[in-house]
Chain A
């Protein structure tokens, strides 16, 4: 059986990545903290079966994604509808901020307008730096699906960044996990 000290050494360093991912994918800080706590609780409970060769970071992210999806299912409503930090304005969001005065919040707002299956794969690969194979394992989908979702996610993101943001509010689906 592996010790708590070992768990802390291997799992806790990934806390910040898990928290920022949870915040972005859930759209709500409080739910994100709960999800991360639940993730660590589940991880700790199954840590006795953990093997040293396991990719701990990917393992924790897989648990987190499952926790977030389960929580979103229970809410039965769009989790982004009450997002604390997700703002979608009606102005044009520039593609290149250095040239057009955009900012980080605009970009993240555009990310949050993506359908959840696009947002999560984009986040895992581009922001968190997971390889396609790892993202496929975390999301439990084929690698080909990762590739196609990324292509569509990038295409959608560019569209959001170059058209009036309020158009995205007309989307009836796609938010939440």
Chain B
């Protein structure tokens, strides 16, 4: 076998992945070929360097471990539920009375927006009056709204931590809380939107209102029957907020 062919086998040879016959052939060639011996030594030294460089410890492992253990502890039922494929949507909806949101000049819309922002800001330190939904209640709402088979709304890298009904202005909304290691995002969902909120972005029938850096207020003016798009839109919004 010529050097050119042998050198193609050197890579699996140094990895001890050659079959006995080929390994013997390579070893026999190496005994008599100094250039190929050098080539193999180069390969091995390069591997040693790469392994030493790659295995150098990474920083922050303990923090990541703590985050993961924390992530696994609460809301186990929610994650299991998601795993089954249903929780995904976890969206509820809610009934927002009528005309909750109005044009920019509408004082009611402004009041609602401010109240909601205040509520969201409070949510990180104070619980809403209603408790988190248990699995049965959540399923009831999803069945009622025909949302059982909706895909996951979680932005990339976030996991669903919980869902609950909230009352920013005495009108019920469903709040879906997603979390990653450092951020919490709340999606407020309504299927029965009647009027757009001032100054919000509207795309393909969806209305998305960013609230500061940590929350996204997502509302649909139409029945939300395509949540894959919602997912994409929410993700884009989160990316924009994080930029």
Give me the interface of A with B, judged by CB distance under 8 Å. Answer: 4, 7-8, 12, 15-16, 19-20, 23-24, 31, 33-38, 40-41, 44-46, 70-71, 74, 95-97, 104, 107-108, 111, 122-123, 125-128, 131-132, 147, 150-151, 154, 157-158, 161
Question: Which of chain A's residues has its CB closest to B47's CB?
Answer: A126
Q: How far is the CB of B201 from chain A (nearest CB, A)?
A: 20
Which residue from chain B places its CB closest to the CB of A31 in the assembled complex? B157
- A residues near B49, Cβ cutoff 8 Å: 97, 107
Whether the pair B15, A125 counts as a contact (CB closer than 8 A) is: yes
How many angstroms between the C-alpha atoms of A125 and B72 in the bound complex? 30
Proximity string of chain B (65-82) to chain A, C-beta cutoff 8 Å, 1 when within and 0 when not: 101110111001001101
Q: Is the interface of B mostly helix, strand, loop or mixed?
A: helix
Docked complex: B218-243 residues within 8 A CB-CB of A: 235
Contact A38 B157 (CB under 8 A): yes
> A46-B83, A107-B53, A150-B15 in contact; A40/B68 too (CB < 8 A)?
yes
Shortest CB distance B10–A (Å): 8
Q: Which residue of B lies closest to A40 (CB)?
A: B68
Using CB atoms and an 8 Å cutoff, list the residues of chain B in contact with chain A: 8, 11-12, 15, 17, 42-43, 45-47, 49-58, 60-61, 64-65, 67-69, 71-73, 76, 79-80, 82-83, 156-157, 159, 180-181, 235
Is the CB–CB distance between B12 and A132 below 8 Å?
Answer: yes
Q: How far is the CA of A31 from the CA of B45 in the complex (A)?
A: 31
A-B CB contacts (within 8 Å), total count = 114
Give the CA-CA distance A161 to B53 in the complex, in Å.
15
Whether B11 and A37, one on each chain, are in contact in the complex, defined by CB atoms closer than 8 angstroms, is no
On chain A, the residues within 8 Å of B235 by CB distance are 74
With A16-B61, A111-B50, A123-B54 in contact, do A154 and B67 touch (Cβ < 8 Å)? no
Given contacts A95-B46, A127-B50, A157-B46, contact A40 B71 (CB under 8 A): yes
Q: In the complex, which residue of chain B has the Cβ closest to the Cβ of A102?
A: B49
Inter-chain contact A158/B79, CB cutoff 8 Å: no
**Known pairs A7-B72, A15-B68, A37-B67. 16 more at Cβ < 8 A?**
A12-B68, A16-B61, A34-B156, A38-B157, A38-B159, A40-B71, A41-B79, A45-B80, A71-B157, A95-B42, A96-B45, A107-B50, A108-B54, A126-B47, A151-B12, A157-B46
For the complex formed, measure the closest distance between the CB of A34 and the CB atoms of chain B, giving whole angstroms.
Answer: 4
With both beta carbons as reference points, the residue of chain B lying nearest to A150 in the complex is identified as B11
In the complex, residue of chain B having the shortest beta-carbon distance to the beta carbon of A36: B64
Q: How far is the CA of A111 from the CA of B79 in the complex (A)?
A: 36
Asked, given contacts A19-B61, A126-B51, A127-B54, whether A40 binds B72 with beta carbons under 8 Å apart, the answer is yes
Inside 8 A of B50's CB, which chain A residues have their CB?
A: 107, 111, 122, 126-127, 157
